[in-house]
């Protein structure tokens, strides 16, 4: 029951605090931290003890008994965890713990919605049922949009637009899933049942379902042209919510693309490689240019992170060990780095409208942390972002060289734009009434940021701490996919399977010609 | 003795990080950090002098020291191992780099420059050492990516009046283009050869057909050279260390470069083109001290001697050493202007070359 406990711990902590508040027994910050701390502990113990003993993709180290949620539709809640989901859960809970401990007004206001989103995100990561995954993902997105709407009036239009995007993009995914469920005779929404339904379907139907499912899920990562919602929400909204925006929404969608999308439709090479990969490369170049030209720090960070989400997609669609492993590492890296940078912006936002020059001279500790964070986001050697980018590009290059080259060119303006931030006349917009003079960072603000950046640097120097645990899952994933791809191709085109070039068609032709 | 390589790389890195983070809090702490940074640089020089003295009898290119640290990260078939390798040529380059770094650190301490600037330069020097000593293209690329922003930020910090914001951004943008070109070249090489270690690449290339070389591999090599040429030519001023390191990288990549017909010529053209572009675009913008010394040399020194010294940027080193040794660099430079002073320098250079040749023999 540990996975279930880790999943509900964040919302349980917030609920306990809400119950105790009328009794004046609440310790708001303490109970905020308890939930993510418990989840982090469970995930960390599971991750350290995880052993690569899986026989196939569905047989994982941690699993719990299945509970039927909707018998009529065979919807089952069955928590399962592998190396990749545990790595993402660790990143998510660690980041949530850092945000929960940060002394900022918006944390107290938004923590109810954020804890609900965190619970849904963990449920999505540990779900073995595609319907449960999609429902949890949609709920997490809805929670994040709701807290964004409540936190700032400036984001009202952006939130409404994002809600429309999510609805439009979620519909084809659900329709595709329900179509498979119906084609499979209502067997269920777990991977074996969906894969059987996918293989049994006609090639045309499977291709249409694949397009709807994969594109709908990929666009939520997000990809161009539906990328604007994350940029505006992260750039204009509260930095506290922006710190958790990408891990709670985009990275969960990327995990779903890998775990369910590609697994259910293993022969959708054309859709994945050309369409999704091409859109990701175009987005990387487009957003890279915007990163270089944007003068606002929050928008610059959000542009950079959205661009790197596209790089994650390029790695995932390559379906190579290095590409997929690098994409997972990139998600972990960007989640931690973006969290640290937006916490820095949150600290600056409480101190008024100051120019960067004043900030650099008056707050040396923050300057040093910001420099480390910016270099980490740019993929500076010594940080885990560099390792992740190299692995992703090297893995993707073997399958899609043109897309990878375009992606590599798009990284250059991102790096330049981030490093040149100190030379711009950038001003940090305040979120709260500014004080008369600038105050340095206090310990409560420094510790979470230092912890996040310390993990980034530690993983950059010793990436095998993470890679050794996720590599078995990635290896199994790639092996299973190649095996299922061969089966699906053989079933799709049995004539071609018979006309094997290594067979003996010449002999059969000669026999036919003989009288 | 192979462990000395670890000290050589780690000492300036640790010192630079400590100095950058500690910043300037109190005068006593600042003085301690200054002394520690200078001593660390001196330690590197001492280590290099010891290595060169003990192992210089080896033939040119033979390995003097080797340190294998293991795999940085592995994603089959991509393997990034971090092993340091010093041959006779790398030993000389490391000795020169360590000497320049020591003189620079001492000069910076004399001038009272910001601790964080010195720390950043120290970390950059450590990156250049990794660039020279690494035995795999991934650490080489990592160190090159690290050196660019470090030196650019440090020089922009120091040269604010001369190096405007726009030029700084232009330099960074060209660095990004050079990095992208190098990265694509490395990816192509990895796809064609299946390995990124220098030894492995040499073995794979030796097995390939000389009459019909792989065109994809040739494209990758050209892109790699283009990236290296852009990075080595378009650099901020006084960046001597990357220049030396690039020359050494060209020598290490010789088996790879020969895949391209006339590859050495291509490399020289790209490198020279990069330098020409840098001068035309006005990127090579010297500091106050170096510009003043160059003006003095153009007025007083012999033309051929001026070009020689200018190419090696030794004058900047002599400036700092002279200020430390005799209290006035102007005196030393004026001394070098006299015929007997210049002759003494030439004789010293000839004696050093003879000593090296005698040791090598």
Annotate B255-283 with DSSP letters as a single string. HHHTTSTTHHHHHHHHHHHHHHHHHHHT-
Q: What is the pLDDT of residue B2?
A: 67
Q: What is the pLDDT of residue A92?
A: 94
Residue A194 · residue A184 · CB < 8 Å:
yes
How many Å apart are CA B352 and CA A382, to the nearest integer? 38
Strands (E), chain B: 63-75, 78-87
CB-side neighbour CA atoms (13 Å) of A232: 18
How many Cβ atoms are within 10 Å of B288's Cβ, its own excluded?
11
CB-side neighbour CA atoms (13 Å) of A225: 0
How many Cβ atoms are within 10 Å of A202's Cβ, its own excluded?
10
- Nearest alpha-carbon partner for A341 in A216, A256, A276, A428: A428
A288 touches B at CB < 8 Å: no
- Nearest alpha-carbon partner for A420 in A292, A305, A306, A299: A292
Residue A8 · residue A64 · CB < 8 Å:
no
What is the pTM for the complete model shown?
A: 0.81
- Contacts A411 to B, Cβ<8 Å: 180
Start-to-end CA distance of chain B, whole Å, equals: 23
DSSP states of A172-226: HHHHHHHHHHHHTTS--SBHHHHHHHHHHS-HHHHHHHHHHHHHHHHTTTT-TTS
CA angle centred on A477, ends A472 and A481, rounded to 5°: 150
Which residue is associated with the tokens 């500091």? Answer: B287
Residue A67 · residue A76 · CB < 8 Å:
yes
Task: Tell me the shortest Cα–Cα distance from B67 to chain A, in angstroms.
Answer: 17
Structure confidence at residue A97 as a pLDDT band (50, 70, 90): very high
Q: What is the pLDDT of residue A16?
A: 80
- Contacts B156 to A, Cβ<8 Å: 423
Mean pLDDT on A492-497:
53
Per-residue buried b or exposed e for A416-432, using 16+ beta carbons within 10 Å of the residue's own CB: bbbbbbbbbebebeebe
Torsional sign, CA A116, A120, A121, A125: positive
Residue A284 · residue A410 · CB < 8 Å:
yes
How many Å apart are CA A390 and CA A379, to the nearest integer? 9
- Nearest alpha-carbon partner for A437 in A368, A354, A500: A354
| CA-atom Rg of chain B in angstroms | 21
- Which A residues, 390 through 409, put their C-beta within 8 Å of a C-beta on chain B? 390-391, 393-395, 397-398, 401, 404-405, 408-409
Q: What is the pLDDT of residue A337?
A: 93
How many Å apart are CA A299 and CA A285, to the nearest integer? 16
pLDDT in tens, A5-44: 888 888 888 888 777 777 766 567 777 888 899 999 988 8
Contact call for A467 and B74, based on CB within 8 A: yes
- Contacts A404 to B, Cβ<8 Å: 187
Alpha helices in A53-129 (DSSP H): 83-100, 105-125
Q: Which residue of B has its CA nearest to A460?
A: B72
Q: What is the pLDDT of residue B162?
A: 47
Which range among A242-251, A502-511, B322-331 shows the weakest confidence by mean pLDDT?
A502-511
More confident of the two residues B104 and A270: B104
How many Cβ atoms are within 10 Å of A368's Cβ, its own excluded?
17
How many Å apart are CA B132 and CA B250, to the nearest integer? 11
- Contacts B177 to A, Cβ<8 Å: 412
Structure confidence at residue A98 as a pLDDT band (50, 70, 90): very high
Per-residue buried b or exposed e for B141-167, using 16+ beta carbons within 10 Å of the residue's own CB: bbbbbbbbbbbbbbbbebbeeebeeeb
Mean pLDDT on A371-382:
86
Q: What is the pLDDT of residue A333?
A: 93
3-class SS of residue B63: strand
CA angle centred on B343, ends B339 and B349, rounded to 5°: 150
- Contacts A355 to B, Cβ<8 Å: none
How many Å apart are CA A340 and CA A370, to the nearest integer? 8
A422 touches B at CB < 8 Å: yes
CA angle centred on B325, ends B320 and B330, rounded to 5°: 60
Residue A211 · residue A147 · CB < 8 Å:
no
Mean pLDDT on A296-313:
86
Contact call for B72 and A471, based on CB within 8 A: no
Strand partners, A76: A68
A58-72, A325-339, A367-381, B42-56: range with highest mean pLDDT: A325-339
Task: Tell me the shortest Cα–Cα distance from A50 to chain B, in angstroms.
Answer: 19
A426 touches B at CB < 8 Å: no
Measure CB to CB from residue B190 to each of A321, A394, A412 and give the nearest one: A394
Which range among A185-194, A207-216, A334-343, A460-469 shows the weakest confidence by mean pLDDT?
A185-194
Mean pLDDT on A122-151:
89
Residue A68: enclosing H or E segment and its boundaries? strand A67-70
More confident of the two residues A370 and B240: A370
Strand A75-77 vs strand A80-81: parallel, antiparallel, or unpaired?
unpaired
How many Cβ atoms are within 10 Å of A331's Cβ, its own excluded?
28
Q: Which residue of A has its CA nearest to B163?
A: A423
CA angle centred on A430, ends A429 and A431, rounded to 5°: 120
More confident of the two residues B247 and A444: A444
Chosen for mutation from A415, A460, A471, A475 (greatest number of chain B CBs closer than 10 Å) is A415
Contact call for A404 and B76, based on CB within 8 A: no
Q: Which residue of B has its CA nearest to A424?
A: B165
How many Å apart are CA A381 and CA B139, to the nearest integer? 9
CA B117 to chain centre: 18
Per-residue buried b or exposed e for A288-320, using 16+ beta carbons within 10 Å of the residue's own CB: bbbbbebebbbbbbbbbbbbbbbbbbbbbbbbb
Does residue A510 register a pLDDT over 50? no
- B337 by Cβ neighbours in 10 Å (0-12 / 13-18 / 19+) ranks as middle
DSSP structural state of residue A421: G
Task: Tell me the shortest Cα–Cα distance from A374 to chain B, in angstroms.
Answer: 12
Residue A121 · residue A179 · CB < 8 Å:
no
Strand partners, A80: A63
CA separation, residue B82 to residues A107, B36, B252, B299 (Å): 43, 27, 16, 49
3-class SS of residue A399: helix
Residue A100 · residue A107 · CB < 8 Å:
yes
How many Cβ atoms are within 10 Å of B200's Cβ, its own excluded?
15
How many Cβ atoms are within 10 Å of B291's Cβ, its own excluded?
13
How many Å apart are CA B80 and CA B75, to the nearest integer? 9
Mean pLDDT on A131-160:
85
Chosen for mutation from A419, A466, A473 (greatest number of chain B CBs closer than 10 Å) is A419
- Nearest alpha-carbon partner for B19 in B78, B101, B105: B105
Torsional sign, CA A35, A38, A44, A50: negative
* Average pLDDT, rounded, for chain A: 79
- Contacts B152 to A, Cβ<8 Å: 419
- Nearest alpha-carbon partner for B122 in B47, B52, B51, B33: B33
Q: What is the pLDDT of residue A507?
A: 41
Which residue stretches of chain B have pLDDT < 70? Answer: 1-2, 20-34, 36-38, 52-64, 116, 151-171, 208-213, 232-248, 262-361
Contacts of A40 (CB under 8 A, 6+ apart): A90, A93, A94, A97
Which residue is associated with the tokens 């940029």? Answer: A231
Residue A439 · residue A352 · CB < 8 Å:
no
- Nearest alpha-carbon partner for A417 in A465, A362, A379: A379
Chosen for mutation from A398, A420, A460 (greatest number of chain B CBs closer than 10 Å) is A420
Contact call for A420 and B184, based on CB within 8 A: no
Residue A144 · residue A120 · CB < 8 Å:
no
Cis bond upstream, residue B55 (ω within 30): no
φ, ψ dihedrals at B66, nearest 5°: -145, 135
How many Å apart are CA A90 and CA A302, to the nearest integer? 22
Q: Which residue of A has its CA nearest to B116?
A: A368
């Amino acid at each position: 029951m540990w996975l279930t406990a880790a999943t509900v711990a964040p919302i349980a902590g917030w609920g306990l605090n809400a119950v105790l508040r009328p009794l004046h027994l609440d310790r708001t910050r303490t109970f905020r931290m308890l939930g993510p701390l418990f989840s982090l502990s469970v995930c960390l113990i599971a991750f350290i003890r995880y052993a690569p003993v899986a026989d196939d993709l569905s047989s994982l180290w941690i699993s719990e008994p299945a509970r039927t949620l909707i018998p009529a539709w065979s919807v089952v809640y069955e928590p399962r965890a592998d190396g990749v989901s545990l790595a993402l859960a660790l990143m998510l809970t660690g980041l949530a713990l850092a945000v929960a401990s940060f002394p900022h007004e918006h944390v107290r206001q938004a923590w109810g919605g954020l804890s609900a989103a965190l619970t849904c995100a963990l449920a999505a990561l540990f779900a073995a049922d595609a319907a449960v995954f999609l429902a949890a993902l949609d709920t997490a997105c809805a929670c994040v949009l709701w807290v964004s709407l409540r936190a700032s009036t400036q984001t009202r239009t952006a939130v409404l637009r994002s809600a429309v995007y999510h609805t439009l993009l979620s519909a084809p995914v659900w329709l595709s899933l329900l179509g498979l469920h119906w084609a499979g005779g209502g067997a269920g929404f777990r991977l074996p049942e969906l894969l059987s339904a996918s293989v049994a379907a006609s090639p045309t139907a499977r291709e249409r379902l694949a397009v709807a499912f994969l594109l709908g899920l990929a666009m939520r990562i997000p990809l161009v042209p539906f990328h604007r919602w994350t940029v505006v929400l992260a750039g204009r909204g509260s930095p506290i919510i922006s710190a958790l925006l990408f891990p709670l929404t985009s990275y969960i969608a990327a995990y779903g693309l890998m775990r369910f999308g590609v697994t259910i439709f293993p022969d959708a090479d054309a859709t994945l490689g050309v369409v999704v990969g091409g859109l990701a490369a175009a987005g990387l170049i487009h957003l890279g240019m915007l990163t270089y030209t944007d003068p606002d720090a929050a928008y610059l960070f959000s542009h950079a992170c959205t661009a790197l989400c596209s790089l994650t997609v390029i790695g995932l669609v390559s379906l190579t060990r290095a590409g997929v492993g690098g994409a997972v590492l990139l998600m972990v890296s960007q989640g931690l780095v973006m969290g640290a940078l937006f916490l820095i912006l949150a600290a600056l936002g409480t101190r008024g409208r100051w120019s960067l020059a004043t900030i650099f001279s008056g707050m040396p500790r923050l300057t040093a942390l910001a420099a480390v964070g910016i270099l980490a986001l740019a993929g500076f050697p010594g940080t885990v972002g560099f390792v992740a980018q190299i692995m992703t590009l090297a893995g993707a290059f073997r399958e899609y060289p043109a897309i990878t080259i375009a992606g590599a060119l798009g990284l250059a303006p991102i790096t330049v734009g981030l490093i040149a931030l100190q030379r711009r006349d950038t001003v940090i917009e305040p979120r709260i009434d500014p004080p008369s003079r600038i105050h340095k960072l206090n310990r409560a603000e420094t510790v979470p940021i230092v912890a996040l950046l310390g993990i980034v640097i530690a993983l950059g120097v010793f990436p095998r701490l993470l890679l050794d645990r996720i590599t078995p899952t990635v290896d199994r994933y790639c092996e299973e996919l190649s095996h299922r791809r061969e089966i699906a191709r053989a079933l799709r085109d049995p004539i071609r399977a018979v006309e094997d070039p290594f067979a003996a068609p010449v002999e059969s032709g000669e026999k036919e010609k003989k009288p | 003795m192979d462990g000395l390589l670890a000290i050589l790389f780690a000492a300036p890195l640790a010192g630079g990080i400590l100095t950058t983070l500690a910043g300037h809090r109190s005068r006593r702490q600042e003085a301690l950090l200054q002394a520690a940074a200078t001593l660390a640089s001196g330690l590197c020089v001492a280590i290099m002098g010891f290595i060169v003295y003990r192992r210089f009898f080896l033939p040119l290119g033979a390995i003097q020291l080797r340190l294998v640290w293991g795999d940085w990260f592995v994603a089959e078939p991509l393997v990034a191992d971090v092993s340091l390798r010093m041959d006779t040529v790398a030993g000389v380059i490391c000795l020169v780099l360590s000497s320049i770094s020591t003189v620079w650190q001492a000069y910076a301490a004399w001038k009272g420059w910001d601790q964080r600037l010195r720390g950043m330069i120290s970390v950059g020097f450590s990156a250049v050492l990794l660039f020279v000593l690494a035995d795999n293209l991934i650490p080489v690329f990592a160190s090159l990516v690290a050196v660019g922003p470090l030196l650019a930020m440090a020089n922009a910090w120091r040269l604010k009046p001369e190096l405007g914001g726009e030029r700084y951004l232009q330099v960074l943008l060209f660095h990004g283009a050079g990095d992208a070109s190098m990265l694509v070249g490395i990816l192509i090489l990895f796809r064609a050869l299946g390995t990124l270690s220098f030894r492995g690449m040499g073995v794979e290339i030796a097995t390939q057909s000389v009459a019909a070389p792989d065109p994809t591999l040739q494209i990758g090599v050209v892109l790699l050279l283009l990236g290296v040429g852009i990075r080595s030519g378009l650099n901020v001023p006084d960046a001597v260390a990357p220049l030396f390191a690039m020359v050494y990288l060209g020598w290490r990549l010789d088996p790879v470069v020969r895949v391209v017909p006339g590859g050495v010529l291509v490399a020289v053209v790209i490198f020279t083109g990069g330098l020409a572009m840098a001068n035309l675009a006005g990127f090579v913008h010297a500091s106050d001290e170096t510009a003043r010394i160059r003006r003095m040399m153009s007025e007083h020194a012999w033309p051929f001697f001026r070009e020689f010294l200018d190419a090696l940027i030794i004058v900047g080193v002599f400036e700092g050493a002279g200020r430390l040794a005799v209290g006035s660099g102007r005196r030393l430079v004026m001394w070098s202007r006299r015929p007997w002073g210049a002759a003494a320098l030439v004789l010293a250079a000839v004696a050093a070359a003879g000593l090296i040749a005698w040791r090598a023999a």
